[in-house]
């Protein structure tokens, strides 16, 4: 399978994993188990099969993500993982996005290839917009406000569920190719 040029950074909680299903041991912050959002597994698998690079860019504890993705049989789905506990900063910090790029050997000129997909306006969308990559709001969760408060919180694209991400990624791949936006 030929690799796509579009690079997908993706959040976890309420973007791929249903936060309402997270279980923690008493007195612990570590998520022991959680269920995926309907369609998330199929979307991740389809993106991977079609040659898109997937990087988890998520706030939380590394052990939580190890547990949840292993439990769901998706421990190998991400090409890389950037986790706030290990970076020492949460989104919207540019440190998260810079680290995520470095892990893939990308630099400034590659920013046009990157989309950041997440459910949180103040973290995922503001972070992506300030950093200068394409922002995609996953407006699936009933637990977060999906109304942008200002320009910085306004996503470039909005999708309602994981399956829409496959279509959007394919569309952006074609559009960016056509517009010569890769360099």
Residues that bind Mg ion (CB under 5 A): 11, 13-14, 119-120
Three-state DSSP state, 149: coil
The tokens describing 91, both together, are 């989104």
- Closer to Mg ion at the Cβ: 66 or 110? 66
Minimum gap (Å) between residue 90 Cβ and Mg ion:
11
H-run or E-run covering 103: helix 94-103
Burial class (CB in 10 A: 0-12, 13-18, 19+), 31: buried
The Cα-based distances of 58 to 22, 97, 158 in angstroms read 15, 10, 19
Output 119 or 134, the one with its CB closest to Mg ion: 119
User: What is the smallest separation between the CB atom of 153 and Mg ion, expressed in angstroms?
Assistant: 14
Instruction: Please report how close the Cβ of residue 68 comes to Mg ion at its closest, in angstroms.
Output: 13
Nearest to 159 by CA among 169, 150, 149: 169
User: 124 or 173, CB closer to Mg ion?
Assistant: 124
Q: How far is the CB of 20 from Mg ion (least distance, A)?
A: 12
Q: Which is nearer to Mg ion, 13 or 127 (CB)?
A: 13
Which residue number, 137 or 172, has a Cβ lying nearer to Mg ion? 137
CB of 56 to Mg ion, least distance (A): 11
* List of residues 6+ apart from 65 with CB closer than 8 A: 12, 56, 58, 81, 83
Structure tokens at 128: 């992506």
CB of residue 11 to Mg ion, shortest distance in Å? 4
Residue nearest to Mg ion (CB): 13
| Residue 11 or 153 having the CB closest to Mg ion | 11
Contact predicate 16/38, CB 8 Å: no
């Amino acid at each position: 399978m030929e690799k796509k040029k579009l690079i997908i950074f993706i959040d976890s909680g309420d973007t791929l994993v249903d936060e309402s299903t997270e279980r923690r041991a008493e007195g612990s912050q570590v998520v022991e188990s959680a269920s995926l959002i309907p369609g998330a597994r199929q979307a991740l698998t389809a993106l991977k099969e079609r040659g898109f690079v997937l990087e988890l860019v998520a706030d939380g504890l590394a052990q939580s993500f190890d547990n949840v993705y292993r439990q769901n049989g998706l421990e190998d789905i991400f090409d890389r993982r950037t986790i706030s506990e290990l970076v020492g900063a949460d989104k919207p910090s540019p440190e998260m996005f810079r680290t995520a790029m470095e892990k893939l050997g990308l630099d400034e000129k590659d920013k046009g290839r990157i989309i950041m997909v997440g459910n949180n306006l103040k973290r995922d969308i503001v972070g992506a917009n300030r950093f200068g990559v394409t922002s995609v709001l996953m407006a699936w969760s009933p637990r977060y406000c999906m109304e942008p408060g200002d320009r910085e919180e306004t996503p470039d694209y909005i999708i309602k569920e994981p399956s829409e991400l496959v279509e959007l990624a394919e569309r952006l791949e074609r559009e960016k190719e056509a517009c010569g936006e890769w360099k």
